[in-house]
Structure 1
């Protein structure tokens, strides 16, 4: 954590920027994340930075630190709590350690479509306790954006049936619900940091990985994996987080501008993410000669879901209670 804070503050001073402690100082919206500079989130932030500098007459500028330059997702959220970082974005799993209620989105094989997931993250009854959790953690919820599904990839053979998963060594993020999901299906999940994933696959420490397609592509998984399967096991939901103290320090007109441009940035991000996925899949097939399986064989999705979903749902109910899980069912019109 000290490493994150000291590096960020040093970079800000070298660039001539400062956090808004005095009126005469330029206000910096610092944005750190683990994605490549070419990721849709960083491209959208570049547009945000240009627009906020222009419309604030140079009073506010944006500075991005992609590729975990300042530390992991966890360190980024800790830095926001310490008021040494303004903003980050990540998938929901790392947020669970800070806001346990976010575990609701770890429910596997739940959302039938992205529209259904978007309906859930915009449901006031469901999101109220999650919003309260962010405030308790000293974080500002800037939005949830379902952008796609987590894909499964492998090296030696395609993984398309339940039987294929037996003993399959799979790199996962550090998340107990994800571990339970894959263990229940017969795989051998191995939590590894994002920075260790490529090497582990290259050396054969693990056989495969799972991630949203753009992340897999930007981190060159096609160099160490040959098969990409759209198992749709978990809906990939991006969450944007900010520093509430930073926001409160802004003048009212700057607060309004900040939130307006955050909304536009999220819209740009989603548009790019959705449009790029099919382009990336085609490139995997044509340029890199990889096997892309867009749909699981008939009946396999249901087989996986029947085993894994009850296991993970029981875990989630045990951690955050029945009420929030029941609200998720109501928000999507599902029956248990």
Structure 2
């Protein structure tokens, strides 16, 4: 199938804008879409950000829906369920295995709980910039890792995009050095990797799911958390967090996952369309998220937060404390080849080989 990608992306951008202007809901949009056949195969796509077109996950999901329904001639009906409507992360991943949910765009912590090697992308202070991260996300290394995950879990990796460059926030004090982390009660997303990283800093980690995080911060259950600017804005975390330290400790990712049972039920041409759709819309997702990451300081200062930038020397101290601790844990949970593999990928990238 030959696709004019440039024209399609321009059309999708206009479609997303129209959805944001009219506040179109999934039901309204589906009911109005005569291109979807009555006996179409249903693809339920779950994600966890608000169902607004200014949110990267949802914008990408809308674009994916448009692409897949158009290029399968309505044979696949993509139904989007944002904002945890179908359950939390653990529930969605279990339902993906059973094919009661067909697809998800999900963040990194829960994935590494299901398949530990996916945690290698979260080694602290691994990437220097988005270009490095995207190169690894699209590499043969990632294809091989995804295939091993499919064989082990029945979940197929279609692509990866940004979940934001993660920074520390709290409501107690500025964090200017590794010593300032000591004694803070910090929320981490589900997944032992993030717990190990936080423990290594000297802070006390507390696992809290994404939907519960805003209230936990407001009620003082924890002092702070770590997230990218997109998620800080999405959940209005700046309302309960005074301080943000731009340390870029993890280039967090979202994975586009599909039930292998569902994938195998499709025709080869439909499988190709699904993959093409992800290959295209991940760039919408990456672009929207990275544009906010690159302006994080100004954006969060504009929301009233005190923004702290720490020196390269201090960053190196954080790296020396956290990266070995997380790597040691990963070597116990995952095959050494994945830890060594990603470190070799980074070394090759950063040396220019």
Pair in the same fold by TM > 0.5: yes
Task: Give the match for residue 306 of structure 1.
Answer: 320
Alignment map for 1:48-63 (pairs within 5 Å): 48-63=64-79
Give the distance between the partners of 2:251 and 2:329, measured in 1 at CA: 18
- Selected match of 1:46 from 45, 48, 62: 62
Query: 1 CA distance for matches of 2:157 and 2:198?
Result: 29
Distance (whole Å) between structure 2 residues aligned to residue 118 and residue 301 of structure 1:
22
Check 1:120–1:253 CA distance in 2 against 1; reply closer, same or farther (3 A cut): closer
Partner of 1:175: 191
Partner of residue 239, structure 2 = 223
Higher mean Cα deviation, 89-98 or 48-57? 48-57
Question: 2:282 — aligned with what?
Answer: 266
Distance 1:247 1:227, change over 3 A: same
- Counterpart of 1:290? 305
| Counterpart position of 1:28 | 42
TM-score (norm 1): 0.86
Deviation, structure 1 residue 150: 0.8
Indicate the SS of the match to 1:241: strand
Aligned mate of 1:69, from 58, 80, 85: 85
Mapped partners of 1:24, 1:36: distance in 2: 28
User: 1:1-336 residue pairs with structure 2 within 5 A?
Assistant: 25-38=39-52, 39-125=55-141, 127-146=143-162, 148-278=164-294, 281-286=297-302, 288-293=303-308, 295-333=309-347
Aligned equivalents of 1:267 and 1:125: distance in 2? 20
Q: Which residue of 1 aligns with 2:19?
A: none
- In the superposition, relative to structure 1, how do residues 247 and 160 fare at CA in structure 2: closer, same or farther (>3 Å)? same
- The farther-off stretch of 226-235 and 167-176 is 226-235
Name the Cα RMSD after superposition. 2.4
Whole-angstrom CA distance in 1 between matches of 2:142 and 2:265: 29
What is the distance in 2 between the residues matched to 1:175 and 1:254? 33
Deviations 1:96-136 (A, max 9, x none): 22212112123112222222222333332464144212232
Preserved CA contact (<8 Å) 1:99 1:134:
no
Uncovered stretches (5+) of structure 1, i.e. residues with no partner:
1-10, 17-22
Distance 1:90 1:97 in 2: 12
Following superposition, the deviation at residue 147 of structure 1 comes to 5.3
Deviations 1:135-189 (A, max 9, x none): 3201111112345411111113221212211101101112222112111211111
Compute the displacement of 1:68 (Å): 0.6
| Aligned equivalents of 1:331, 1:186: Cα separation in 2 | 29
Equivalent residue for 1:19? none
Q: Secondary structure at the match of 1:140?
A: strand
Given that 2:124 and 2:326 are in contact with CA atoms closer than 8 Å, whether structure 1 keeps it comes out as: yes
Deviation >4 Å, runs of 4+: 278-281
Q: Deviations over 1:242-273 (max 9, x none)?
A: 01222222233322222211211111111122
Q: In 2, distance between residues paired with 1:115 and 1:101?
A: 22
Contact 2:50 2:82 (8 Å CA) reproduced: yes
Q: Distance in 2 between matches of 1:308 and 1:184?
A: 5
SS of the counterpart of 1:232?
Answer: strand
Aligned residue pairs total: 315
